[in-house]
Structure 1
């Protein structure tokens, strides 16, 4: 493609131009930086904790063992494994929170695939022996259903966040300082 003077036009991605490349001409609307939603993250933490405690309570009840503090001690390695790995795998990020059911389920499954084996490993280290294979299988299956299931249900019940695009933001009202900044950038060009 040729410019008005017959010279070829060069396309430069905005990411490579730097901030001052557009001074005096225009500013690139980079959108608003999405802030971390602490309320959604707290909901996920509480639900995950509840799911892991339900798993431990159901397991202890199935074996005729007591509840209370024993449930917490049974769930503790899984809680530690889950909360040590899930944040590193995006378990509380945007995809886990308000992007729809499929991204939430995939994120939960990714965290489950690492977090629960980590919990099993911690349990084995704390108890001094490798858990039996049936316990490993049941732990993986039940926690998978509980964690992925509850997060998928939450995502289905939660309205997905609108994407932050120019079209969804529409026109933004400026303030007097932005207007003065625009005028100053135009005068810099002269």
Structure 2
């Protein structure tokens, strides 16, 4: 998520946004807590398009615990979403899930934490609201595999014919011809074969 997008969200948090949680009921009473379970929509693809991503229109399933502490509200839990992509070895489609765990302190205004840290170091409460989108999205991006595979032992494709090794016979192979003999093979055919030379090669 870009810094500009973060700033825009922080400046205009909407309590109706499913990514935004109102913590007013915790009352700044250290030790008070409550759980939250929500479906969080993904309006734009998250990840690397065509490689691996949480697709637009998907949802994160959020299970979180909100705890009031001296310096703010501590949010911890887990978020899970479907991911789609292609195997980096055989190009088969991948349809799996990404699951991330997180713990984030949202500092109270005028708290010691808020006063002694830069804005990008610690998240802030805005009118008792916490915005989970930056935290969950950033964690999910880091959790996406850099080299997505359909299976850990995927052997990929045959470099000569482009067919998946898993679909080929165990003894599958392609005879390699020394390039120095390639012109003779093309002109006269394989030694011992009945294949006649090409029409243009006949004299």
TM-score band (shorter)? under 0.3
| Structure number with bigger Rg | 2
Greater fraction of residues in helix: 1
Greater fraction of residues in strand: 2
> Which has the higher relative contact order, 1 or 2, with Cα contacts under 8 A spaced 6 or more apart?
1
TM-score where L is the length of structure 1: 0.25
